[in-house]
Amino acid sequence: MPPANDPNPTYDTIFRHQPSPLFNTKRKAIPPLSIRMASSLSSLNPNNISFTTAQFSPVPPWTLKSPTILFNLTTNIKANTTPEVFQALYNELKHDYPHHQEIFTDGSKSLHKVSAAAVFLNSKLTFSTNLPTMSSIFTAELTAIKLAVFNIHKTNHKLHILFSDSKSALQSLSHKNLSNPITQDILLKYNDLYNHHYNIIFCWIPSHVGIKDNTEADKLARVTSISSTQVIPIPPSDALPTLRNYIRTKWQANLDSFPNNKLYKIFPKLQHLPPLHHSYSRKDTKKVILNRLLIGHTHLTHCYLLNKEQPPNCNYCKTLLTVEHILTSCSAYKNIREKHYSNSQLPHILTNISKHLIFNYLSEIIFF
């Protein structure tokens, strides 16, 4: 998953594992992390997506020329502004830079496709590329800007004004966020272009408000795009949502494989368990009891394990003595229980019923 030549010393250990027959024969031996992760890695990254991280800037960051970025149009809140106002503001802006040629960039993300495009309106040149589906929209927008600055020399024109509808991508440039590899590439290229007498102004533009040039650029992108088939490396942070989802799915599958687990009956879906207190302390008796009721293990129902005895039965009902039995169905305590609560579903009792009622019931039957 990380880029090749990653200097991290754990890289080889984790990502370049050698299958060892030793662990096939010794089933009880715990294989190293690399072997245990191999199947997860291949199912997580079936297309061998390549990742890129920011390297040290070859140009001292403080000498990098700061790009001019205009957020003039953001001062108008989109919801309250009519398309005509935006069109007028856009024309005004263009009037301030009469010799600059317009570039429009756009990144898009749907369920199965992430793409980036840059359109040079005057020279009718368009460039686009597809990105791995796990890429964020932010990466797509930055890649679109990168496509523009890296192809700008093909226009034979030195003055450009680049319009992007991604405020966060432009802010990343404005804050010189060199830790993002794509932002770094753009800033280094911009610096290089600046030294070769190019002048590029960046400007935020609202999307889908009917600005004529923007609509025309969208049309051009669809019809005449020169699409790159090159595999675009993306920042590792873009993989995090997929990674989290994968871990959650695996964890849930693991939980589902133990349907008789006592906690599973109460919380069949992964979630935070509010009654389980992080400040777990033996001094707080009620919290301890509550946590033990939730996991279904109490001294009364499970001390047989320590004493190497048979599991206990309820003296009255002659069925297995469990937390569920005591809280929901023991006929000996039916009347007392109904005084405090009437529900007979364990998940409901432990998650929705006031804890005071449960403790009052347990206290009355001298459970603790």
- Residue closer to Zn ion (CB basis): 164 or 322: 322
User: For binding to Zn ion (CB under 5 A), which residues are involved?
Assistant: 314, 316-317, 330
Tell me the closest approach of the beta carbon of residue 322 to Zn ion, in angstroms.
10
Nearest-5° Cα angle at 276, 270 to 277? 135
- Residue closer to Zn ion (CB basis): 29 or 317: 317
Report the alpha-carbon distance of residue 17 to residue 38 in Å, rounded: 8
Chain centre to alpha carbon of residue 202: 28
Reduced DSSP (H G I as helix, E B as strand, rest coil) percent helix, strand, coil of the chain, to 5 = 50, 10, 40
Tell me the closest approach of the beta carbon of residue 1 to Zn ion, in angstroms.
54
- Residue closer to Zn ion (CB basis): 140 or 330: 330
Quickly list DSSP for 4-62: TT---TTHHHHHS----THHHH-TTSPPPHHHHHHHHHHHH-TT---B--PPPPSS-GG
Instruction: Give me Rg for the CA atoms of the chain.
Output: 31
Which two three-digit tokens encode residue 159? 């003055």
- Residue closer to Zn ion (CB basis): 228 or 313: 313
Tell me the closest approach of the beta carbon of residue 240 to Zn ion, in angstroms.
49
- Residue closer to Zn ion (CB basis): 240 or 320: 320
Neighbours of 162 (CB within 10 A): 25
Tell me the closest approach of the beta carbon of residue 320 to Zn ion, in angstroms.
10
Tell me the closest approach of the beta carbon of residue 298 to Zn ion, in angstroms.
15
Tell me the closest approach of the beta carbon of residue 27 to Zn ion, in angstroms.
43
- Residue closer to Zn ion (CB basis): 251 or 316: 316
- Residue closer to Zn ion (CB basis): 18 or 342: 342
Tell me the closest approach of the beta carbon of residue 319 to Zn ion, in angstroms.
6
Which secondary structure element, helix H or strand E, spans residue 107, and what is its range?
strand 101-109
Enumerate residues 6+ apart whose C-beta is below 8 A from 116. Answer: 105, 106, 107, 108, 128, 129, 131, 140, 141, 143, 144, 146, 147
What are the distances in angstroms from CA 260 to CA 94, 256, 266, 296?
69, 9, 11, 11
Residue (of 238, 298, 297) closest to 263 by Cα position? 297
Report the alpha-carbon distance of residue 158 to residue 194 in Å, rounded: 10
Tell me the closest approach of the beta carbon of residue 317 to Zn ion, in angstroms.
3
- Residue closer to Zn ion (CB basis): 212 or 339: 339
